[in-house]
Amino acid sequence: MLFRKGEVNIFITDEAVGIYQSALKKDKAPISTVIDLEKQIVENGYIIDPEALYLKIKMLFKKNNIKPRSVNMTIHDQNLLIREFNIDKEDLQKKTIATYIREQEGRSIHFPFEEANITYYVKAEDAQTISAVVIISDENLLQDYHDVFDRLGLKYVSFNIAPRVLYRLYQNEFDKDLEQAMIVSLYGNMITINILEHGIPAFGMIEECEGHANQYYEVVENYIERVANYYHFNVKKGSTNISDIIVFNFNKQISESDIKNKIRPEIENLKLDVYQSQNRISEIENIDDFCTMSYASSLKKKGDHTHLFNFELERSKRITNYANYILVLSFTIFSAVALIYIPYITFNEDINVQQNINHVLQNQLDTLREETPIVPSTSVMERGYSNAYDYLISQVDEPSIYFSDLLDQISGSMQVELYSLDASTQQIMIVVSATSEAELYEYLIVIYEAYGITDGTDDLRWMASQPSRRFISNLMMEVTINYA
């Protein structure tokens, strides 16, 4: 993307938005401003509430009379993956490096998001291999920010990466080209460490840090030394050391002097420098420390108006959006007809049909009432006889319940082969069989003890005398029982 006059440079974290715009005229001062963000607007670099973020940035533009047509956004380290790949040209064939990297997902690399946006820089190339530094970010995250910028009326959007931006700032102010530079960025509850070789990112890490100030300093010291040793012994196999360490402080809770006095003395054999701008008196005299990143993003080398790493987004054209809106509207109308109007017509027809059926049934009921003879009324005497009969019937014992009592005592191997009842003699005959005579005799004793009359008859005591028996065979017995 070419440099555009009046371009606004923006850096967004979970806590704040920082904006820097270079002076449009010689007699005008550059604009730098910061606005704090409440929680749940941006979280881990992702937009949670796009409407709130849009209103915050719009307020910043209006308050500072900023009317840009383009924006250059610096992507936070926490939303970047930095990897270096050595790719065989045979594996690459006619594919682009970005396509090749996407094919490695799940093999040599794992993306912490669904869809990746990839930009890369070829460091070296020979006949067999290509060495490339690959920067990866979340496609959806970039699209979400682009949507907000579109609503703000910004026609051109480009993206920068934080390590390159800070390195270019240091290089611009001190006119140094560092061979192996470690860029350490301190945020409120986060530390990011990046290693750049001649300005090209080679390694990046991020670590959350909670606790009081002394713990914060200890964590920073620990990670600086660990990353330096990892780079020296694992990446470079002992051949190269970190030449310079530059610390950028975006943490409002600590000062540059605290870093110099409490961290630098603990870092042995490493050259550590805390960034403090040398140009405060002139161009960026009143710039807020948080706007350092946005200011750095505005710097360009002479004759170089392109970003070394630039994420390209495929955006749908406005006419396509209008067509999509028309399709959505058409679908909504169709859905309303299909889901509301048509069921309404159908239900209305069903109601009319049911009303007609009800009328027909009512006519049939009226006809039946007219044809049904009137039931004659009964006299008081007739009702008395009927009630007396019902009472006497209810007092008559039902001998069938006696069979139920007898069957309840059947157990073991016993079986009922035959039974009969003679109401005239009030006798019940039952033929039972078993695998032993003892079970048959035991049955006689049990039923008499359970149902034999003692003091008087009741629901349980109905057997008038001891049951009589007659053996039909060795294991089959006829039992005769008299009931009261």
Tokens representing 422?
A: 């003679």
For 387-451, the three-class secondary structure string (H helix, E strand, C coil) is HHHHHHHHHCCCCHHHHHHHHHCCCCCCEEEEEEEECCCCEEEEEEECCCHHHHHHHHHHHHHHH
Q: Is the pLDDT of residue 455 over 80?
A: no
Mean pLDDT, rounded, of the chain = 85
* Strands 70-75 vs 156-161: parallel, antiparallel or unpaired: parallel
Evaluate if residue 10 carries a pLDDT over 90: yes
CA dist 122 and 131 (Å) reads 6
**Overall average pLDDT of the 251-257 stretch:** 81
The pLDDT assigned to 211 comes to 63
Q: Does residue 163 surpass a pLDDT of 70?
A: yes
User: For the segment 311-337, what is each residue's pLDDT rounded down to a tens digit?
Assistant: 888 876 555 666 777 888 888 888 888
| Domain boundaries, given as residue ranges, for the chain | 8-301, 316-371, 400-482
116-125 and 244-249 beta bridge pairing: unpaired
Superfamily of domain 8-301: Protein of unknown function DUF3822, C-terminal domain (3.30.420.260)
Neighbours of 208 (CB within 10 A): 10
Task: Give the rounded percent of residues in the chain with a pLDDT score beyond 90.
Answer: 26
Q: Write the pLDDT tens digit of every residue in 177-216.
A: 888 899 999 887 889 999 999 889 988 889 887 766 677 8
Indicate the fold that domain 400-482 takes in CATH. Answer: Gyrase A; domain 2 (3.30.1360)
What percentage of the chain carries pLDDT values higher than 70?
Answer: 92
Highest mean pLDDT among 1-5, 52-56, 377-381: 52-56
Given this model, what pLDDT does residue 484 score? Answer: 78
Amino acid 384: pLDDT:
86
Give the three-class secondary structure for 218: helix
- CB burial of residue 300 (10 Å; 0-12, 13-18, 19+): middle
Instruction: Say which DSSP state 264 is in.
Output: G
pLDDT tens sequence across 258-298: 888 888 777 767 788 888 765 543 455 556 777 888 888 88
Domains 8-301 and 400-482 share a fold: no
**C-alpha 189: how far from chain center:** 25
Q: Where are the beta strands (DSSP E) in 13-80?
A: 16-21, 31-36, 42-43, 46-47, 70-75
pLDDT in tens, 369-405: 888 887 777 888 888 888 888 887 776 667 778 888 8
pLDDT given at position 108: 76
